[in-house]
Structure 1
Amino acid sequence: MKPVVTLAFAGVTHKTLMKHLLPGDGYEAAAILICAHSPLPRRRLVVQQTILIPHEACSRRTPDAIVWPGAYIEDAIDIAEREGLVIVLLHSHPGGWLEFSEVDDASDARVLPGLFQAFGEHHGSAIMTPDGVIRARLYDANMNCDPVDLVTVAGDDISFWWNDHISNGVTSKRPLAFTGDMTRETNRLSAAVIGVSGTGSITAEQASRLGFSVTLIDSDRIEKKNLNRILNSTSEDAEKNRFKVEMFAEAIASHRGDGVGVPVPLAIGEREAIELAGQCDVIFCCVDSQEGRLIADLIASTFLIPLFDVGVTIPTFIDDGVTAIADVCGRIDYVQPGGSNLADRKVYTSEGLRAEYLRKVDPDTFHEEVEAGYIKGLPEEAPSVITLNMRASAALMNEFIARVYRFRQESNRLYARTMFSLAACDEDHYSEDDFKLGDSRNFAMGLTEPLLGLLSLRRTKRYAA
């Protein structure tokens, strides 16, 4: 069953909480989570801020109970009420019991009504065990309680903790990579594929066959020149000038059923496309524009969604007046919210964004370099690059699997970026620590206005609730 309610953490936030809630003394500790909303209809909360309750401020800390001053809740209300955010009270169970105790139930019954008197329609509570697993629940103003179906953490590793996988205070073992159990889990998850062309169509094919529900985002239509590298496309599709996403959603339906592939024939910069991507559990970015990558970056940071970005290129040089291939390259970047983003890694730059803008709005004043398509320096209407795209897209999807199902022999932190050269038969990887961390724009801001912090995306009557 798909998760109805999800609580999402950035890895950096989860790491800070673990250090505070589990200091090693065997006693409970507490924190307050202030959570923003993701786009509807999915109920997906993102942890925006935390208030760590000082251990010394607690009047009582034991292995199975904690009492702390209500002044910290008042501080949380002051922060959350302005934007209508959700407050979740989190404490640790150092003994490892992943169930809410009678003491926890009584505490919620005593404290949460005061939150609802102040503001809000939903607030909740959560527990953390020494292995970092979090279980949460939400209440409405009448104190009716619903479990949070899925808690996610996007860090060096990606964690999915399902409420219905907890029995007798213990969570079930994680699925093994490349097994049917892995497919059964991905069947409950949704992936946004931004760009459904050369690498994107291959990525979408893999995602759908691995079990994901796939939100397909691309405003382009199929042309005859695309047929040698877009999976499932046909001459009839090109003749009818069909949207790529509509063709691909139909192809997914042929083997997965209706509704598994969701076509979004819009550019990723449009509000509706952003909101649909913001409901997903993972983003695969397969665009060839710097603006598209900027938007993907902002979505991932705003809604705490892990982002996987792929790029391929074939640089050339002139040898005795003849164009020759210098290399055949691919790049895969994994971006975790709160970590280095694609701007920090120079995947896009302010100069590059400006050049794209000029090329689009005033091409007559912009002297475009000869950089057409995949093969730099050699214009190609229909480059024969499907083998390169296959290699890169497979690496992209395997990167996701490695993060969630952890089959690598080394730490995933060492693989923030992977680059391969087919010409040199070589592969390099770069650690998260190799990149200088810049400003984390819109971190966990959720569905606040203007969307993604961009004035161009201010809500209009067309999108009013």
Structure 2
Amino acid sequence: MFNHETSVAMAERTHVHLSNFLIRADLQEDLVFALWTPSRGGKRFTALLHTLVLPGEGDRQIHGNASFNPNYFERICTLAVEKKCGIAFLHSHPATGWQGMSHDDIVAENKMASAVDAITNLPLVGMTVGSDGIWSARMWKQVEGRKYQGNWCHSVRTVGQGLKADFNDSLVPKPEYSELFKRTVTVWGKENHANLARLRVGIVGLGSVGSIVAETLARMGAERFSLIDFDEIQGHNLDRLLGATATDLGKKKVSIAQRQIKRSSTASRVEILSVSCSLAEEEGYRAALDCDVLFSCVDRPRARHILNHMAYSHLIPVIDGGIEVRFKNGVFSGVDWQLQTVAPGRPCMECLGTYNPSDVALEQSGQLDDPSYMKGLGENHRLKNNENVFPFSANLASLEVLQFVALVTGAGGIHNFGVQRYRYWPGIVEADEGRTCRPECDCIELEGQGDRYFQLFGRDLGAEIARKRQEQPIECACMENV
């Protein structure tokens, strides 16, 4: 796991609880243990912090520094075995920024590392919070025998109403300033830009909306992209897919998006991972888990269901949007598009009605890719309502990026726009900040649990059909008809 990038994530409410406990008014250090669950991406291993085990009477001493008694450590070990979780040891330093480790810190964590590894088969996670609320983290790796070494994590992210990422500058350097994005930086400031640019942004679906999102982020100076889409360019895509031309017919959408990002990027360095798989297949699923934030630019229920799971179980906020075009007697009668960011403390996509769970089962069984089944549905059925044109996509993509900017920077004092819906008639954007999940929703229960209880990847018949189609030569007539 340590050949991968490493990180820690927690829900915003967990961060607030920990900060209130550890950052003391008397400036003394304090400590606490917590449980975590792993999130295994393709290139990143993340510890998802979810359960705090606060010290009781006689569990620790506060004497400028802080130390714990054996009974406290024994209690967290017993609980970790019972819950099948990892152990995190957290303490505070009365200083600002990403904190290093004192000699005493190293000795204390090193003593615990072998015992934690033996009983949990997971590394000890050590974390320090500064007086400004910035976290640092490391994972302890066995070197030989009983000798362990702390390996610094790349980042710690806090997810909720906002997305706060505390980066290890030595592993994830701040972006080099460029006049190319001078005006962009002026709006939200250099520190916000440094955090925004270093996030790994996943875009799931590189069609009309996703291609515009990718272009916008590239021009803003984003440095790290993961592009996930199994589909190829077809003739009907050319009126609304940014960067694609008739010469690109048959090429994969992720390839065109990657080319466009490289052409438009204002960053001095850009890293792009292109995955020609479905999100529902393991390679695409793992690639999404490597991301700090995900854009949902899909029109299928199964992908939305998986992204909804990732937002809460893996603590990766998802910015989702969809377009509904309406016709009456075959004539255009209106269009709405809705967008929302889903994350802990915000309502989930299922409760917001952005997908129907029964449709997820239909897609998983292959019926949505069965022409005879689709033909039997009514003309106005929701599963056929996927007409779209470039102006609609451009507006939705712009609003999604604005939700991303608010989430990360809080520019103008706003982190959460709530659920936004644009109505073609009467031409307004409605905002609903009061929506909540249904009482029976299980998102809070799954928060930070990763794939501990179940995994959502498997076969995707639609992706398999697309790959077979992509093996066929492109007919010249298709080129002539475009």
- Following TM superposition, by how much is the alpha carbon of 1:281 offset from its aligned partner in structure 2, in angstroms? 1.2
With 436-445 and 392-401 compared, the bigger mean Cα shift is at 436-445
Whether 1:128 and 2:129 are equivalent positions in the alignment is yes
Residue 159 of structure 2 is aligned to residue 154 of structure 1: yes
Root-mean-square deviation over aligned CA pairs? 3.5
Q: Distance in 1 between matches of 2:32 and 2:141?
A: 21
Bigger shift: residues 199-208 or 224-233: 199-208
Write the deviation string for residues 268-308 of structure 1: whole angstroms up to 9, x where unpaired. Answer: 21111101111111100000111110011122333211111
Q: Which of residues 302, 308, 315 is equivalent to 1:304? A: 315
Aligned-partner residue type, residue 271 of structure 1: E
**Relative to structure 1, is the Cα distance of residues 445 and 221 closer, same or farther in structure 2, using a 3 angstrom cutoff?**
same
Question: What is the count of residue pairs matched by the alignment?
Answer: 432
1:245 aligns with 2:254: yes
With 68-77 and 208-217 compared, the bigger mean Cα shift is at 68-77
- Whole-Å separation in 1 of the counterparts to 2:304 and 2:160: 20
Q: Match of 1:436, as an amino acid?
A: R
CA contact (8 A) 1:127 1:136 kept: yes
Which position in structure 2 is the counterpart of 1:207? 217
State which of 183, 190, 195 in structure 1 corresponds to 2:205.
195
SS class of match (2:46): strand
| Structure 2 unaligned spans of 5+ | 172-184, 461-482
Q: Which residue of 1 aligns with 2:230?
A: 219
Identity across aligned pairs (percent)?
Answer: 21
One-letter amino acid of the counterpart of residue 390, structure 1:
A
Shift of 1:178: 4.9
Q: Which residues of 2 match residues 86-165 of structure 1 at below 5 A?
A: 86-93=86-93, 98-118=99-119, 120=121, 122-141=123-142, 142-164=147-169
- Alignment match, 1:171: none
- Contact 2:347–2:436, Cα closer than 8 Å, also in 1: no
| Equivalent pair of 1:85/1:120 in contact (CA under 8 Å) | no
After the TM superposition, which residues 55-94 of structure 1 pair with which residues of structure 2 at under 5 Å, given as runs?
55-62=56-63, 64-80=64-80, 86-93=86-93
User: Residues 25-424 of structure 1: matches in 2 within 5 Å?
Assistant: 27-40=28-41, 42-62=43-63, 64-80=64-80, 86-93=86-93, 98-118=99-119, 120=121, 122-141=123-142, 142-164=147-169, 177-178=187-188, 184-210=194-220, 211-238=222-249, 241-255=250-264, 260-317=271-328, 323-326=331-334, 328-337=335-344, 339-354=346-361, 356=363, 359-360=367-368, 364=372, 367-371=376-380, 383=388, 385-410=389-414, 412-413=415-416, 415-424=417-426
Question: C-alpha displacement at 1:54, in angstroms?
Answer: 3.0
Amino acid at match of 1:340: P
2:352 match: secondary structure: coil
State the TM-score, normalizing by the size of structure 1: 0.80
C-alpha deviation, 1:138, in angstroms: 2.5
Q: 1:439 maps to which residue?
A: 442
Query: CA separation in 1, counterparts of 2:322 and 2:453?
Result: 31
Q: How far did 1:333 drift?
A: 0.8
Calculate the TM-score normalised by the size of structure 2. 0.78
Shift of 1:102: 4.2
**Where do 5+ consecutive residues of structure 1 fail to align?**
167-174, 458-465
User: Distance between the aligned counterparts of 2:316 and 2:226, measured in 1?
Assistant: 14
- Report the Cα offset of residue 400 of structure 1: 0.9
> Structure 2 vs 1, CA of residues 51 and 181 (structure 1 numbering), >3 Å: closer, same or farther?
closer
Cα pair distance change 1:406/1:131, threshold 3 Å:
same
Tell me the secondary structure at the aligned position of residue 299 of structure 1.
helix
| d(CA) in 1 for partners of 2:311, 2:227 | 16
Contact 1:151 1:160 in 2 (8 A): yes
Mark the CA change 1:23 to 1:237 in structure 2 (over 3 Å): closer, same or farther.
same
SS in 2 for 1:304: coil
Judged with a 3 Å threshold, the aligned counterparts in structure 2 of structure 1 residues 220 and 258 are, in CA distance, closer, same or farther, namely farther
Q: Which amino acid aligns with 1:38?
A: S
- The offset of 1:151, in angstroms, is 1.0
Structure 1 pair 405/165, CA: closer, same or farther in 2 (3 Å)? farther
The 3-state SS of whatever aligns with 1:280 is coil
